[in-house]
Amino acid sequence: QVQLVESGGGLVQPGESLRLSCTASGRTFSRATMAWFRQAPGKEREFVSASWRDTGYTYYSDSVKDRFTISRDKAKNTVFLQMNSLKSEDTGVYYCATDPTLILSSMRDARQYDYWGQGTQVTVSS
């Protein structure tokens, strides 16, 4: 089993920044894709960003592209999400996820991930 623990959420004003972290422990998949999803109240969980396997390729949803940056520290089994220019619509619970069997075409589908963190709340409000 692999355990994922997120941290770094909080309450910020529009335009501010936050950096989320997700650390994997247990049976870690150092070459697996690491992704971030978020879920706002009453809405489905949606894809935010992913670091595809150990290729260095990164992917973003259109709503966060150019504002968010995903990165990973393989030595520490940690993935980060730097979120800049935050907007009220970025509010939600942010989850990291991983799955060693994921294929590229399924990267944005939350149902394809078997391993999830507990989530961290991000609230953007003035």
Burial grade of 83 (CB within 10 A; 0-12, 13-18, 19 or more): buried
pLDDT of 30 higher than 90: no
CB-CB contact of 114 with 33 (8 Å): no
* pLDDT tens-digit map of 53-98: 988 899 999 999 999 999 999 889 999 999 999 999 999 999 999 9
Question: What average pLDDT does this structure show over 16-38?
Answer: 91
- Collect all residues with Cβ–Cβ distance below 8 Å to 91 and sequence separation of at least 6: 40, 122, 123, 124, 125
Question: Which residue in 51, 65, 55 sits closest to 22, CA to CA?
Answer: 51
Provide the pLDDT for residue 7: 97
Question: What average pLDDT does this structure show over 7-12?
Answer: 98
Mean pLDDT, the chain, whole residue set: 95
pLDDT of 23 higher than 90: yes
